[in-house]
A and B are shown apart, each in its own frame.
Chain A
Amino acid sequence: MNARTMTRMLLLAAGLLGMAPAFAQEIGFTAAVDRNAIAAGDQLRLTITLTNARERFEAPDLGGLVVVQGPFESSSFNYVNGRMSSTVSRTWVLTATKPGRYTIGPAKARIGNGVIQTEPITIEVSKGSAPPPAPAEAQGQQRGDPNLFISLVLSKSKAYVGEQVLASYYVYNRYPNVEIAKVDPSKPNGFWVEELSVDNAPREQRVVNGLPYNVTLIKQQLLLPQRSGTLRIEPLSISFIVNRSFFSRGTPVDARSNAAELTALPLPAGAPAGFNGAVGELELTVKADRAEVKVDEAIEVEVKLSGSANLKLIEAPKLQFPADFEVYDPRVADRISVGAGGMIGSRGFQYTVIPRHDGTYAIGPLSITYFDPKAGAYKTLSSPALTITVAPGEAGSASAAAPRVQRADVATLGTDIRYIRTGDMGLRRKDRWLFGSWPWFAGMSAPPLAFVLLLAWSRKRERDRADAAGMRRRAADRVARKRLREAEAALAAQDSGRFHAALSKALQGYIADKLGLGIAGITPEAMERRLQGAPDAKAIAADAARLIAACDMARFAPAGDRPQRERYDEAMNLIQRIERAAEA
């Protein structure tokens, strides 16, 4: 025994003076755990031991750890070689529900007037291999039988509209024998619900508030929020009968799960045009079963979306087919497995199309937009256009000879304003019109003016022409009168011989002067030649020759013959005719 121990024992002895301890043994007070690091849900054992004292001591502050079992007490006495030692220990079985660092505080024991305490212990709790569902105590709503209750656990508390949320209902039970009598199913409002199979769910043991429970997954649903906002999932009620045995009819126990609320976030605004409501992760494939066909042969085109998303809610995408392809409504081919991980698989849309004309056509391209909740953004998948070569149908076959064409009106896809006209715009000065402008007035007045001028000119010419004819007639009269003045005097004197001589002389002189002939050369032929241009030359010549001959005959005829007025007029007329003919 060394000096230091002696000192401590003396101190203790002084402290315990009057208490009359029967033994002067060394007092020890220790806290120990069997392990310092556990996984969440695992158990550890805390043992606090007081040696050589029989004082009470309290449980230390457990720092958040949950008591599963205990405390168990044990004590022992040893009497060895006249020395007696005693040990009192208490043991707790502890667990932790959440990972983290926990500190078990010091345990204290009051011995005499002094206080003795243990060292604090730090426990590291790591994340459990399978995260346990939140214990029912967290929901706090649990009423009724604490030995049998249902807990509803959602895989997430916030989700986008269309995102998949797993709802699990666990039955916590401490009865040895439980039967389900009646299930009152809860129908979550505002969700698309997909029931999952729970046949193979494992049973396990969990500790809640220090009590061990048998935990069974009784119901599991995949919930897809269909609208935004706070969506409430009503509790599930199950009637159980417990402890039914051969001797007992059992006791009915009604259990109700907690209700749960889910915050459904709306999809961000500004969804691209091709968004079809898919939320998750997707891949797109578009393929046709063949690229070369003949007219009227069917092609299968499949648009396949695969991945993890709300596949069952995806609608057929709008795949653009050439206008004169006959397109049937797509068949939906699903290969979707629904499990705790959500809907996984593929949804295919199979289009049957029949080209009705030969040529090269393009199907698509197709682009599909989905919402990726992990990234919180829209993502667009696109596939290039498929090229289909359509060969003409069988020559000579009935369909090729007389193709059955189903006629239909041209479908209007949309309306928009017509495009501007390109090229020359045919611009003209603003507010400048031909009507009422001076060129128009000029153009309108020019023809009447011209007409009036023409009319005036033609009138004048007419008049001039009429004047010339009268003058010529008057001149011819004058010549004839002058030439026949002697014959006229003889006519007045009733002297037949002189009258005819004068008449003949006047006529011959006139014709000779006028036509440039000698007196002897006055013959009908000569006269006719000279009057060549006149239309009645022949008649004039004949008349003139006849009149001259008649005058000559009357000159030498018996004297009783009287001068004849007719013959004078005839001569006058003849001269005028010659005048006019010569003028012409």
Chain B
Amino acid sequence: MIRALLLHFLLAAAAAPVAALSIAQADSTAAAAQQAYASGDYEAALKGFEAVAAHYRSASLCLAMGNTHYKLGDLAQAILWYERGLRLAPADEDLRANLDIANEQVRDRLPAGQGLALGRTWDALRGNNPDAWARRSLWACLLLFAALTAAHGARGIARQGAWVLAGIMALILTGCLLMAYARHRALTATDEAIVMVAKVEARSEPREEAKALFVLHRGTKVSASAGLDGWIEVRLPNGTAGWLPASALERI
């Protein structure tokens, strides 16, 4: 009883000051929400996780958000959060498994985006830490200039070795920078969205009276371009395009 009260108090306290949430507060709120989830009180857990998610992110948090929505029966939100988590950590097994289960319940069947084997390797290469490649590029930069320094200072065979090393490090740095850039692009992209309403018709023009082209259902993932007056142009994997009201979508 006391524990439950404490939990509610903690969650309420965390939810109230939305403006500022220190990392320590966020951690304790998340822990309380985890406990609520474990005891099956999904509403309380959702409240806690949402308070944390307003300012903080991590793959684990996205998994928790997705699971809580799933348990509460909100399939679209669950898929949205699994997708958000996979943006942060493309190789996260738990997120992938849960997303697959949630996608099984989506009515629209769309062709899979990428080949599985290659996709997995690529995801593993991208890594679960969003900053990994940026960090690696810093190290590569440091090592490149260390090798250049060595090449400048040394004489004879050591100098040649240092030059070779510097060349290799330059290649590695280029790779790291490309990866870090690609990762950053993917992290900050807003070109994908989830259909949040039970059923919505895509129109040929951004008008309510325009011709209906196709129907999308809750939880379907589409690529979304920039909007126009509360309408967003979406594209299906097979290239079909149409306009949806912005309220029917939420960007990942």
Contacts and interface: CB of A to CB of B under 8 A. Distances in A.
Interface in B66-106: 66-68, 70, 94, 97-98, 101-102
B97 A418 contact: yes
A420 B95 CA distance: 10
B144 interface: yes
A447 B142 CA distance: 6
Nearest to B138: A443
Interface string A419-458: 1111011111111011110001001101110110011001
B183 A435 contact: yes
A435 B94 CA distance: 26
A453 to B, nearest CB: 11
Interface in A384-437: 415-422, 424-431, 433-436
Chain B interface SS verdict (over half): helix
Nearest to A422: B34
Contact of B184 (A426, A430, A433, A458): A433
B180 interface: yes
A447 B146 contact: yes
Given A421-B60, A421-B63, A434-B131, A429 B55 contact: yes
Interface string B122-165: 00000000110111011001101110110011000000000000
Chain A interface SS verdict (over half): loop
Interface residues of B, number: 50
A417 B131 contact: no
B56 A451 contact: no
Contacts of A440: 134, 138
Given A444-B138, A450-B145, A430 B55 contact: yes
Contacts of B168: none
A434 B153 CA distance: 33
A418 B67 CA distance: 8
Contact of A447 (B66, B102, B135, B145): B145
B67 A435 contact: no
A419 B63 CA distance: 9
B64 A444 contact: no
Nearest to B137: A444
A450 B97 CA distance: 47
B142 A421 contact: no
Contact of A428 (B57, B67, B181): B57
A426 to B, nearest CB: 5
B141 A444 contact: yes
A435 B184 contact: yes
26 contacts: A415-B101, A418-B94, A420-B60, A420-B68, A422-B38, A425-B30, A425-B61, A426-B60, A427-B26, A427-B27, A429-B55, A429-B56, A430-B53, A430-B57, A431-B57, A431-B188, A433-B130, A434-B135, A435-B180, A435-B181, A444-B141, A446-B142, A447-B145, A448-B141, A451-B149, A458-B153
Q: Please name the 5 residue pairs, one residue from A and one from B, whose CB atoms are nearest each other, closest first.
A: A447-B145, A435-B134, A434-B131, A434-B134, A427-B56
Interface of A: 415-422, 424-431, 433-436, 440, 443-444, 446-448, 450-451, 454-455, 458
